[in-house]
Every structure is written in C-alpha cells, then in structure tokens.
Chain A
C-alpha cells in the first residue's frame, strides 16, 4: 500500500541552526501538508501546498518557515533559525484531488537544544 515517507525520523539541532525536513508524498496525490505536534498537545496545521504554491498557512507558519517541492516527488519543510519551541513531531500529509482524507507520514521528531 502506498504511504507517505518522511526522513529523517529524528533530527537533533542546535538553537539558531537551519533544518530541512523531507517528505515523499503518495505519488498520485495533489495536496501536501505539514502539521506539527508538540508533546502532549494537539496536531496543529502549519501549511498546505497545491499546484506548486502555498494554498493556505496558519499563524504558526511565520517567516522562519518555508516549503518547497524541488522535484516531482519531494516536499520539504525548512526552518531557518530554529528555536527551542520548535521542538515537536512534524508530520507530512497528502491527499488526492478528489478525497479530503489526509494520509500522514510517520513523522520527524525534531529536538532543538
């Protein structure tokens, strides 16, 4: 069964460093998303991406964040200058153009020290 693939599974970085989280959405999916979940809290929407551009973003997704689809398969989330409060599990998700069901990757646990 096709699945959303995320790498790395764990990322440790120093405060102020840049990190890039990688995702390969399901191949025939058209909408791509990043969510995050701080330990013990809810899954929070960050950004959605469709037709090679951001279609919506939350107030969390400030200028420190960016997304890119550098080729036909990868979808990345960049955090330019990480803060302690960026420590969270980051989930990539995707869906087809016809169904609103979101399918999630296994996540990248980001720890900012």
Chain B
C-alpha cells in the first residue's frame, strides 16, 4: 500500500511568521508532487506542483523536494489569517495517473 504521510497538526503560527509543512511518501518511483489547500467544507484547491529536487517558489509559497529522502515540504512566508486551512500533500504514484493524498496538516494563523 503506497502511503503519503503528514503530521495532522494543528500547526499554529502568528501572523507574519513562516509556516513549514512536511510530507513523506513511500513510493520511491513517484515523480510528481502537489500541495493543495482545503478550507473546511470546501474542495481541494491546487497551490503548487513540484517535479524536480530542490526549491520552487511562487509568491509567498515555496515547495521543496528531496527524492532521495522521499520528502516534500511547503513553506508559507508572511503567514496570514486567510492561510488558515488544511494543507494536503498529494503524490502521483509511479504507476497510474491518480493522485494519492495525505491526511493533511491543519494550519492556524493567529492575528
């Protein structure tokens, strides 16, 4: 059974701080990784994708990938209360086209 693991949190940070969210995956052959944000009662919304080792930045978000360690992370700089949500790590397995999701980390940003 291929797994995607995330610390469920909650992760609490003050407004303006950096939030760091982590994810590990078990399928060593996976090549495509995604971060989704999910507000309570809503559908997952794609934030970032990353395919190569290293960092990828998009605005206040930075995704980091280390395939050797099977580890993906998401950094949110200058966190805002509107960033309070559950962040889902998703991995495309080597076989197939479906994304497999972690359980998500709940982030709470206090003003």
Contact = CB atoms under 8 A, between A and B. Distances in A.
Tell me which of B38, B90, B98, B104 has the highest count of chain A C-beta atoms within 10 A of its own C-beta. Answer: B98
Contact of B32 (A33, A44, A100, A104): A100
A45 B46 contact: no
A48 B101 contact: no
Interface in B68-93: 88, 90, 92
Contact of B101 (A31, A42, A105, A107): A42
Contact of B97 (A41, A43, A100, A104): A100
Interface residues of B, number: 21
Describe A's contact surface by its main secondary structure.
strand
A106 B102 contact: no
Given A48-B97, A50-B97, A100-B97, A43 B32 contact: no
B98 A48 contact: yes
A109 B89 CA distance: 22
B43 A105 contact: yes
Contacts of B88: 42-43
B49 interface: yes
A104 B88 CA distance: 13
A104 B99 contact: no
B99 A102 contact: yes
A45 B99 contact: yes
Contacts of B100: 45
B44 A91 contact: yes
Contacts of A50: 97
Interface of A: 31, 33, 35, 41-45, 48, 50, 55-56, 58, 91, 100-107
Given A100-B99, A104-B45, 20 more contacts: A31-B97, A33-B98, A43-B38, A43-B44, A43-B88, A43-B101, A45-B98, A45-B100, A48-B96, A55-B97, A56-B97, A56-B98, A100-B97, A101-B46, A102-B34, A102-B46, A103-B46, A104-B44, A107-B42, A107-B43
